[in-house]
Amino acid sequence: MQTADRIDKSEDLRQWFEHQVELSKSRLIETTQTLVRTGSPNPPGDTIAIASVAEALLAAIPGVEIKRVAPEPHLVSLVARIQSGRAGRRLIFNGHLDTFPIGEDLGWTKAPLGGDVVDGQIYGRGVTDMKGGIACSILAADLLARNRDAWRGEVVLTLAADEENMGSLGSGYLLEHEPLARGDANICGDVGSPWVVRFGEKGLYWIDLEADGEPAHGAHVHRGVNAIDRLCGALCRLKQLETLPVNAPEAVSRAIAQAQAVSEPLSGAGESRVLQTVTVNIGTISGGVSPNLVPTRATAAADVRLPVGVTTAMLDANLEQWLSPLEGVRWRVTRRYEPNFTDPEHEIVRCVVDAASRVLGERPAVNMRVGASDSRWYRKYGVPTVVYGLTPRNMGGPDESANIDELLAVAKVHTLAAYEFLSKDA
């Protein structure tokens, strides 16, 4: 049982950490700008320069140990450790160093790599996805390092390459080959919203389809076989995946339902439905050479996202049944991973929720994530993980920007949640 003195001291430390983040506002902005000003678009995915910049920022943390990891010469990731000096748990701060392509032709009104501050916003490619989130985690780690007697165990930052290319040579590689990359919990500062704590994400299933036909003149369709007609038949069956029943754990379904009122105004109406159903987006389709010729070949590619309660093996089985009998149609899965989640009642989720409630003055929603992040790699290796980051303003488009007030809030939450997790007994 905690004594009154222990409770008062803990409250004093929470206030101290919050105050230190406020005092570090200029440094937080400068760190974000420094990261943004070094481009790291993927493709090509080269993180040599940005890793060097991040390493210099990490090196300013007292007592930090830093290791560079490069499965390929141009794919450099960083692992940084701060030890408290006392036995305890390991908390990971995970982030990715690569960004979407810069898109100089998109009509930027601010310099894409300028890090300009205008009307309370920082502009630049990757500022929300996710260099601002990395800056928040670096500041949190630094403040913890400067008050080591307040917690036990260690903090590890994993700043990874390759996330925009699914992460197998970034976070996936680190978790397989670097023991320090694994821990008792992980906080990822990837995009989202300060008002939503994300505990899981949908799975992915990319599929290519191809159909063959027989040539003929468009006026003599009886003498040919139309490949596009065959492909359309296959795509109609592919869309039937959206009707598959979903058997999600009650805790996941309940969290999505409870989050709807807060989460949907931020992420769009219909998010709750999408989180609980299979979705099929037919992203590309092509075929034929002229309107008056029966096409002999047609292709399509689709992005299928699956919720918790559906597996990729279930998709395999249904598509085998529905597509294999179709004459002249072939299909193959090009990428896949399973839906994944951390128990929404897990301690690390509660720590982030409690910290966000304190910082925001209201309880955030607790919800799944529609898009992907490197968090799935951590869950694959048994590390409970939560995503808490900035609102993605114009992510991937021109004038991507991060709100500075949000940046401060996220930095406070990362710091307070890490302190709470590491100050408690395992």
d(CA 114, CA 127) in angstroms, rounded, equals 10
Please indicate, yes or no, whether residues 371 and 416 belong to a single structural domain of this protein: yes
Q: Percent of the chain scored above 90 by pLDDT?
A: 96
Q: In CATH, what number is assigned to the domain containing residue 329?
A: 3.30.70.360
pLDDT, tens digit, 9 for 90 and up, residues 157-179: 999 999 999 999 999 999 999 99
Q: In CATH, what number is assigned to the domain containing residue 187?
A: 3.40.630.10
Query: What's the pTM value of the predicted model, to 2 decimals?
Result: 0.94
d(CA 197, CA 406) in angstroms, rounded, equals 14
Q: How many separate domains does the chain show? A: 2
d(CA 121, CA 124) in angstroms, rounded, equals 10
Q: Tell me which residue has tokens 């710091």.
A: 415
Q: At residue 6, does pLDDT exceed 70?
A: no
pLDDT, tens digit, 9 for 90 and up, residues 310-339: 999 999 999 999 999 999 999 999 999 999
Please indicate, yes or no, whether residues 160 and 213 belong to a single structural domain of this protein: no
pLDDT, tens digit, 9 for 90 and up, residues 333-390: 999 999 999 999 999 999 999 999 999 999 999 999 998 999 999 999 999 999 999 9
Please indicate, yes or no, whether residues 332 and 347 belong to a single structural domain of this protein: no
Which amino acid, 303?
Answer: D
Q: At residue 269, does pLDDT exceed 70?
A: yes
Question: From residue 359, how far is each of 57, 201, 369 by CA, in Å?
Answer: 26, 25, 22
Range of the domain at 125: 4-201+340-423
Q: At residue 192, does pLDDT exceed 60?
A: yes
Please indicate, yes or no, whether residues 242 and 289 belong to a single structural domain of this protein: yes
